[in-house]
Each structure stands twice: as structure tokens, then as C-alpha cells.
Chains A and B, each alone.
Chain A
Amino acid sequence: MEIEASASEDTGREGLLPSAPVCEAGKKAGALIVGVAAANAFNEYVPEGHRPEDILPGAQSVVVAGNQGPTAAAWRSPDHRVMEITGYDFRENVAVHVMCDFIEREYGYNALQAPSLPTAGHHPPMSMMLAAVLAGLGTRSLAANIILHPEYGLLYYAALVTTLPLEPNHVLQKDACPSPSCVQMYEKLGTTPCLASCPKDEGGCLEGEIDEDGRISYSSYNRERCHSRSMNFGVGSVQKSLVDIVAEEDQDRRKSMIYSDFFSQSLSSLSFYKESVAQCFECMRVCPVGQNHKRLK
């Protein structure tokens, strides 16, 4: 492939290459959006051990792919279990692998999928949220810091780390959250749709404030409470159940626990159906960002 090098003043890096061919390869593979961050842009925000350079020596760029999970119809289903269990196609992960192949094959640079699952405690080796922000794909929201894309709202992200020096995107200059309608609501009612749907002071998870400029001035969320509601099934619930099951001395009670709906569904969520591991979408259900893409015929 013919490559024309350019320079970028943003990062002080020389010989940056156009990112468009890589991004196009990702979109062809099913990514809705693709963005690029400079690998060294992470250094300001994350501790050593969690930076692209720690994952791939000589890392120059992080390419991030975003995709929608459930369809608009799934959001409308009156059966809440549909959203709880809806399988993903993980196209953003597929797109990342396709882009890795593309980079290694066409450019001859190293590329790997950025590890995003927890490896110690609940901490992933690399933050996909930060990667999405630095790649200019979205900004943090009042709703549990979920990254919102200004056009599509909630998306799922995967990333790759590469030694290929690509032209990076800019961090978004305009926040996706709060949206204009949320600012108006805050001015009138002192709350926003997400804060109202899950208020921290009334047993919910979210708390926040918007300043005179219409920007988030303060936000907080109760991670433990949110986790216990949004991660009912999955690895955590299997562990929780096992603690109870192993500790139960009564054989009949133990049997009912093993064959219970809860444990069966927890096991099913681990299985190859690629079921959702998040069961609460209420703050996102009321979020106006990206709603246009959820309103169909």
C-alpha cells in the first residue's frame, strides 16, 4: 500500500500516517464508528501499567471501534428480560481484529486487541472508556460516567494498540452530556432524566450538578449499588451463588439452589449465547442523546 506521511503538531510526533484506510477497514467489518488516539495521550490519565506502551512496547496509536448493542426494538420490548439477555454480535471486537490484520498485513506494523476484561480485582488492563474519549468518539455523562457519542448515545467499544503512527482524532470539544433538553430540565426542576430515574438520595445510584455554562460541574455515582443492579447475572452472580450453595448444609435446599432460575440464568449468562451481562438500562433508557436512532416505525 502506498502511504503518504504527514506531521501533526498536536502530539509532537512526526511521520504520522492517514488513519482513513484503517478506519474504513473497521467500518467495513461492522464498526459503526472508528476513531484514533495517540498512545501517549493516555499517560496523563492512567497510571503506569495501564498505558498502551505497557501492553505493546513501542505503541504509537490506539484505534477504537464503537457499535450499538441491542436494536432499537429491544429497547421498546415490554419484557425486560429481552434487554437483560439480548445477545451481542460483538462486531466492534470483530472490527478491531480485522483492523489488526489489516495493519499487520498491509503496513507491516504490530497490532493487538487492547485487553478490556478485568485481570486483577475489577480493573481492566486498559480502559475502553478512556480510549473512546481520547479517540474523539464521546464524552463522559452524568449517568454513571457512561461514554455518550453525540449522535448515537450509548455504544460499546473495543480498541487496538499498534506501533503504526496514525493521525489521531481530537477529543470532542463539545460535551455530549448534558444535552440541551437536559440543561433545560435541570434549570426548571433541578434534575435531569438520568438523575431523576435513579436518584442517589432515594436509593438510586446517580447524583450530579450542571453549572451556568450548561456543563457538568459535579457528578457522582454509587458504584456498588449500580453494580448490584446492573450485573445481576454473569461471573459475579455465579460466584455469589456458589458461596451460598457450598455453604448450604441441607441437601434438598442445596439442590433447589443449584437448579433455581437464578443460578440457571447466571450459568446461561456465562455461556456461549453471548448474553448481556448488564441488566439495568434505566438511566440510558431515558437519556435523550441518541434517541433519534431509537425511534423507528
Chain B
Amino acid sequence: MSEPEAELDFELAKQQLTEFSARGGALVSGVADVDDFAAAPEGFRPQDLLPGAKRVFVVGGSPPRAGDWVSPKHEHQETMGTSDRINSLGLKAAKFIEASFGYYALFVPPGVNKGNQPFLSVALAAELAGCASPSLAGPLLHPKHGMLYYSAIVTTCPLPIDGRAEPACPAPACLDMWEAEGTTPCMKVCPIDDGGCLGGDIVEGRFANRRYNTARCATRVHTHWVPGFQKGLEAALDEEDPEKRKMILYSSFFTRTLWSMTYASQSQAQCYECMRVCPVGAEERTLR
């Protein structure tokens, strides 16, 4: 008769997974309960991707380096992609869960499903796992590291849950600025009422009445990559003059869209201005 299977120590398992992730480059990690995803529409919840799912494990890290942030050449950060490192770690963590604990673990694909919709909101997962909290500017913020990139793994393994983190935004410096000027660094750099994307208030130390122009932001943030290629292709095919068409196809814009899509792993995001002025995580971006 075979020995009964030993019960997995889930606390220890989480510790091992956390250490594995940290060794792989994660700056933060956390666990969310799948039941907390009720706010997500049906079809975009963890159980829709993996029957019997119990938790979502999230790893965060691979932000632009401090040196990237201080480069005076804006094209540098526009083309230096760092986010794919966290996706590689996400798949490794999923394989680690299956190989070490014997539970199913599904790496949430970082690409999009039909209609440019993600399979599951990784931002929501990171928030529910306590890795970071929402900000006035939009990106999730970790209190120490500021903006990070995230990868999510849906699993049947009932790891201990972390729960939401305390809000990192607005930072104390932003509260002071709000009291003095009625704005914050992020809203000042990109004001929604002055051609920008961000607006809102601070009420009792918390941000409120947030306004965000998604469409405007997208046209500034995602200027290259797949949508840039589609836009360039459309313009080229609509152009009847062969010389002009040739110029479009060999233009810097079209060339950069091709680079951004392919193996060069270039950044998909080209505007970081709201994050550049954000005091959350600024210490991590300040070196000698």
C-alpha cells in the first residue's frame, strides 16, 4: 500500500514561491483570492481561464532603470523595453508551482484576446494581491518602488491571501502641493483641461473624482507598436502617389513601428511624463 500523500504546507509553499520569484528578479509579489475578482466582468475572471482556480499569484518588477529615467534622450526610454522580463518570470513561476506543489498554474498571457481585450486585468490582480495600489495618474504604484510591471498566474493552489495594500497615492509631497496649488505633479504635467489626460481632486487625503482621457493617453503612449503599424499601413495604402507611399513606408515612424513590434523587444509605451514627476518610488530612481 502506498504512503498517503503528505499535505502541502501552504505557508511554506508561499514562502518558497516568493523566494523563487525574488531570485528571478521580482521586486514584489502577492496572492489574491479569486473571489475578489467579482468586479471584473464574466469571461475576464480567473475561473474563466482555469476551472477550479483559487488564487492569483502576482509578481512585479523590471521597471525602467534609474539611468533610463535620467537620460536626456527621450527616444531612449521610448525604445528600451524592460517589461518582457517580468513575463518571462511569470511563466517560470507558473512552472515552479506545477513542478513543486503539484497544483495547476496558468500564466496569464500578456497579449490581448479578441477586441484588444486582455484575458484578465493584470492591474486588478496586482491590486488585489496587495502588490500596489491605484494612482491618480493611472499606473499602479508600489509605496517603495513606484511604477512596476506585473505578471499574473492563476492557480488552483490555495496559497495564503495577502489582500489589498494601503494606498501609495497621493504621496505626502503631493498633498502639500495640492494644498498650495490645487494640483499634483502628475495632473500638472498632463492637465485634462489643458490638452492633457489627467484630472481629479484630493479629498480628505485621498484622490477622488478622477478624470482620465483614455483615448488621448493611448494616442500618446502607444504611438508605435501594432496600432502604429496599422495606422502607417492604412496611410500608405490610401496614398495614391507612389513616391509619397514609398516615403511613408520608409519613414522613421513606420520603421520604428516595425522595430517596436519585432524581436527588438522595444517598449510599447512612449510617454512616461506622469510617472517621471511622481514622487512615489522617486528615491529608487535617484542614484549618483
Binding site for B on A (CB under 8 A): 68, 71-74, 76-79, 81-82, 85-89, 245-246, 251, 254-255, 258-259, 261, 263-265, 267-268, 270-275, 296-297
Contact = CB atoms under 8 A, between A and B. Distances in A.
Contacts, number: 124
A71 B226 contact: no
Contacts of B109: 81-82, 85-87, 273, 275
A297 B103 contact: yes
Interface stretch (B30-38, B46-54, B177-185): B46-54
A22 to B, nearest CB: 23
24 contacts: A71-B91, A71-B95, A73-B106, A78-B48, A78-B49, A79-B48, A79-B49, A79-B119, A82-B109, A87-B87, A87-B91, A88-B91, A254-B237, A255-B234, A258-B230, A259-B230, A264-B226, A264-B230, A268-B111, A270-B261, A271-B262, A273-B87, A296-B103, A297-B156
B237 A296 contact: no
A270 B98 contact: no
Tell which of A251, A261, A271 has the most Cβ of chain B within 10 Å.
Answer: A271
A82 B261 contact: no
B230 A74 contact: no
Given A79-B119, A82-B106, A87-B110, A71 B229 contact: no
B150 interface: no
A267 B112 contact: no
A272 B84 contact: yes
B264 interface: yes
Given A261-B115, A264-B116, A73 B48 contact: no
Contacts of B264: 272
**Binding site of A, secondary structure by majority: helix, strand, loop or mixed?**
helix
B113 interface: yes
A71 B261 contact: no
Q: Taking chain B's interface residues, is the majority helix, strand, or loop, or is none over half, making it mixed? A: mixed
B155 interface: yes
A204 B35 CA distance: 41
A71 B105 contact: yes
A71 B107 contact: yes
B148 interface: no
B88 interface: yes
Contacts of A270: 261-262
Interface string B240-274: 00000000000000000000011111100000000
Nearest to A254: B237
A145 B91 CA distance: 28
Contacts of B102: 296-297
B261 A85 contact: no
B94 interface: yes
Interface string B70-112: 0000000000010010011001101100100011111101111
A270 B261 CA distance: 7
A89 B103 contact: no
Contacts of A297: 102-104, 156-157
Contacts of A271: 111, 225-226, 261-262
B234 A258 contact: yes
B106 A81 contact: no
A85 B113 CA distance: 8
Contact of A85 (B111, B156, B234): B111
Given A71-B91, A246-B237, 7 more contacts: A71-B95, A78-B49, A85-B113, A258-B234, A264-B116, A270-B262, A272-B263
A296 B112 contact: no
Contacts of A272: 81, 84, 261-266
B104 A296 contact: yes
A258 B233 contact: yes
A192 B115 CA distance: 38
Nearest to A273: B111
Given A270-B261, A272-B81, A296-B156, A263 B237 contact: no
A255 to B, nearest CB: 6
A254 to B, nearest CB: 6
A70 B88 CA distance: 13
Contact of A77 (B49, B81, B114, B262): B49
A72 B98 contact: yes
Contacts of A74: 106-107
A263 B49 CA distance: 24
